[in-house]
Chains A and B, each alone.
Chain A
Amino acid sequence: MRTLSFAAMVVLCGGFFGLLLGCPQPVQTPGATEEAALRETDAAFLRAVEARDLERALSFYADDAAMFPPNARVATGREAIRAAWSSEFANPGFALTWHITKIEVAQSRELAYTQGTYEFTLNDPTGRPVTDRGKYVVVWKKQPDGAWKLLADIWNSDQAAHTP
Chain B
Amino acid sequence: MGRAYIAGILLASVGLMGLTSACQRQAPDTRAADEQAVRAADADSLKAAQAKDCERWATFYASDASLFPPNAPIVTGRDAIRNFCSQLAANAGFAISWQIAKVEVSRAGDLAYAQGSYEMTLNDAKGKPVTDRGKWVVVHKRQADGTWKFVADIFNSDLPAPVAPPR
Interface residues of A (CB under 8 A from B): 1-2, 5-6, 8-9, 12-13, 15-16, 19-20, 23, 66, 68-74, 102, 104-108, 110-113, 115, 135-137, 139, 141, 151-152, 154-164
Let me know if A5 and B6 touch, CB within 8 A.
yes
Q: Is there a chain A Cβ closer than 8 Å to B152's Cβ?
A: yes
B164 engages A155 (CB within 8 Å): no
> Looking at the complex, which one of B8, B106, B139 makes contact with A137 (CB distance below 8 Å)?
B139
- Given the known A-B contacts A72-B158, A106-B107, A156-B155, are A5 and B137 also in contact in the complex, defined by CB atoms under 8 Å? no
Inter-chain CA distance A163–B167, complex, in Å, is: 11
Contact B6 A68 (CB under 8 A): no
Q: Which 6 A-B pairs have the closest CB atoms?
A: A106-B106, A161-B164, A108-B108, A108-B107, A5-B5, A107-B108
A115 to B65, CA, bound (A): 11
Identify B16's interface contact among A15, A113, A161, CB under 8 A: A15
Main secondary structure of the interface of B (DSSP, over half): mixed
A-B contact pairs, 8 of them (CB 8 A): A16-B12, A23-B19, A23-B22, A71-B161, A74-B135, A158-B71, A158-B74, A161-B70
CB distance from A118 to the nearest CB of B (A): 12
Q: Which residues of B contact A68 (CB under 8 A)?
A: 115, 135-137, 156
Chain B: minimal CB distance from A35 (Å): 13
Chain B residue nearest to A161 in the complex (CB): B164
B70 touches A156 (CB 8 A): yes
- Cβ contact of B111, chosen from A23, A74, A113, A163, cutoff 8 A: A113
A residues less than 8 Å from B66 (CB atoms): 102, 115
CA distance A107 to B106 in the complex (A): 8
- What is the bound-complex CA distance between A147 and B86, given in angstroms? 42
